[in-house]
């Protein structure tokens, strides 16, 4: 059978670990008029089972440098 590939490259992922969850983008600009934002998360370096993410919002220690104010902007 000439012309048919006889070699195949296989990549084995670390399936025994749940992986690392991170944001798809490091910065997300949002217009306050939008009312909400969707932040896409990605799963890297693993694939074993289900994963979940716990999150919270926080403002900087220096309120003068805060871009979004809790209770006003979110």
Per-residue tens of pLDDT for the chain, all 74 residues: 566 777 788 777 656 677 788 888 888 887 778 877 888 888 887 777 788 888 776 666 665 666 666 677 66
The whole model's pTM is what? 0.47
CA distance 69 to 74: 7
Cα 26 to Cα 8, 9, 20, 35, 46: the distances in Å are 36, 32, 15, 20, 21
Task: Select from 37, 23, 42 the least CA-distant residue to 68.
Answer: 37
CA distance 68 to 30: 11
The residues spanned by each domain of the chain are: 12-46
Task: Return the pLDDT at 14.
Answer: 59
């Amino acid at each position: 059978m000439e012309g048919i590939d006889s070699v195949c490259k296989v990549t084995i992922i670390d399936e025994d670990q749940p992986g690392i969850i991170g944001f798809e983008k490091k910065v997300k600009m949002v217009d306050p008029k939008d009312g909400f934002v969707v932040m896409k998360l990605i799963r890297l370096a693993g694939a074993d089972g289900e994963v979940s993410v716990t999150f919270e919002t926080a403002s900087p220690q220096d309120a003068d440098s805060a871009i979004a104010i809790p209770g006003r902007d979110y």
